Each structure stands twice: as C-alpha cells, then as structure tokens.
Amino acid sequence: MQLISIVLSASDMFSDCTKLMDYGFKNYSCKLIQQAGEYIGDVHVKQGVEDYFQVYTNEDIYYPLTDEEFGKIEKRVYLEKELDAPILEGQNTGYVDIWLGTNQIYSAALTAPDTIGENSYQYNVDKILERWLKANTG
C-alpha cells in the first residue's frame, strides 16, 4: 500500500506528515473485496444456441480499509436475467457496486465470457448439413 501525505500551512510539516503516514499504515491495509473469477449468477439466452451462460467477476478489487470498515462492505449485484441472442464475448451483462455505508466506493462491469450465436433457421440447416457430411464422408 502506498500513501501520500499533504499538509498545508503547518508549522512542522515533516512531523505532521510523519504522524499522518504512521496513522495510515497502522490503521489501514489493502483488503481484497472482490476476487476475479467469483461466480455471480446465470443469464438466460433467448433464442440462443445455448440456453444460458454463467457470469463471473473479471478482476481483483483491493481497497484501503480498516478492519472495522471491511466488516461493513456491501456488494450489490445488478445482473440481466435474460438477453436476446446473439451474445458477444465481452458484452455488458450487468455490474457489481461495492458500498461502504452510504458511499459507493467501486463499480465493476460484468461481461459475457463467450459468444453465443442465435438459434436461427440457417444455424439449424448448417448443423444438419454438417452431420450429414460427417456421416457420408469416410
């Protein structure tokens, strides 16, 4: 963890900065409040070649907190329940807001992990032809 101390118009700036830095390092530490790969939920796909996909967090989130503040962290998840196909890899599917009391301290996007095609007439014709060709070619 890195801290920056700024004091203005202090009679003993060095001493005041030292006290502020000591306080910060003594009382705060970078806490992992969200881990990458944490399962969030499922999003159903309307008219897709797959019925649903799972959504996971994309990144580790660290934040400087006291032990007391860490116990007050709240995560609020906003995730689409259903999306229309096609779904593109990286498409926004929702977000996670992280709150400390009444203050939002971070917001992280949730995205689709893969592309999911549309279950269209053309898709089904292509699948039938593909199976027929495999069965009829040695």
Owning domain of residue 97? 31-136
pLDDT of residue 138: 60
Residue 3 has pLDDT above 90, yes or no: no
Residue 3 lies in a domain: no
- The CA dihedral of 73, 78, 79, 80, to the nearest 10 degrees, is 180
Contact, 71 vs 121, CB < 8 A? no
- What b/e sequence results for 86-110 when a residue is b if at least 16 CB atoms lie within 10 Å of its CB, and e otherwise? bbeeebebbebebebeeeeebebeb
CA 130 to chain centre: 38
What's the total number of domains in the chain?
1
Residue 25 lies in a domain: no
What CATH number has the domain bearing residue 116?
2.60.410.10
> What pTM was computed for the model?
0.75
pLDDT tens for 58-71 read 999 999 999 999 99
Q: Which of 23, 19, 4, 104 is nearest to 66 (CA)?
A: 23
Please give the structure tokens belonging to residue 28: 């705060």
